[in-house]
Amino acid sequence: MRVRLQLNVNGEQHDIVTAANKTLLEILREDLRLTGTKHGCELGECGTCTVLVDGEPLLSCLLLAVDAEGTEIRTIEGLAAGPAPHELQIAFADLGASQCGYCSPGMLVSAAALLKRTPTPDQDEIREYLSGNLCRCTGYLKIVEAVELAAQRVAESRAAGEPDPEHRQLSHPTSGDASTLDPVEGKRGSA
């Protein structure tokens, strides 16, 4: 059976005609071509498919798209503000918190939700909040440190009265390989 769906993704309204039994992950990747959200276990165990639904991290492999109507969905493609990456993306690049990068989109959107809820989390809080996002490469330390660093930078920008403390224009990158940051994947691209 086919259905007509209205989905709000990254602030854009989409009118989609699709199979009624498709998951949100399938709609994002196959119908909307938003392939930043990764396809992993499809069992609710790896967290690679995490997106924000009304600001909360949810596993898009377990959510039927029809049940996401009327919500605000944010994917990794919507984490940057235009050309200005989120501080989390910059910190991941600066500290090498992405290796293969497969977990990074889910990790980044989960971390963004954490910083909304707890602006300056300690390492235990970061580990606890990200415990549903598995990474097979990094050993997690760099990821935890990157989230801490991003939180610190956002707090400093907020204290300085920046209009958008979560995002930074990288017109003159000064640290790490931030000049090659891929704002979608949240990892270094090829220069």
Query: Can you give the binding site for ligand FES, defined by CB under 6 A?
Result: 39-42, 44-49, 59, 61, 98-103, 135-138
Distance of CA 185 to the CA centre of its chain: 8
Task: Compare residues 143 and 160 and give the one whose CB is closer to ligand FES.
Answer: 143
Task: Decide: 135 and 97 in contact? Cβ < 8 Å.
Answer: no
Task: Decide: 187 and 104 in contact? Cβ < 8 Å.
Answer: yes
Name 164's Cβ contacts closer than 8 Å, sequence gap at least 6.
81, 84
**Among candidate residues 188, 163, 162, the one with its CA nearest the CA of residue 175:** 188
Task: Compare residues 61 and 113 and give the one whose CB is closer to ligand FES.
Answer: 61
- To the nearest 10 degrees (0 to 180), the angle between helices 87-95 and 104-117 is 130
CB of residue 72 vs ligand FES: minimum separation in angstroms?
A: 20
CB of residue 82 vs ligand FES: minimum separation in angstroms?
A: 26
Task: Compare residues 23 and 71 and give the one whose CB is closer to ligand FES.
Answer: 23
Task: Compare residues 36 and 174 and give the one whose CB is closer to ligand FES.
Answer: 36
CB of residue 185 vs ligand FES: minimum separation in angstroms?
A: 10
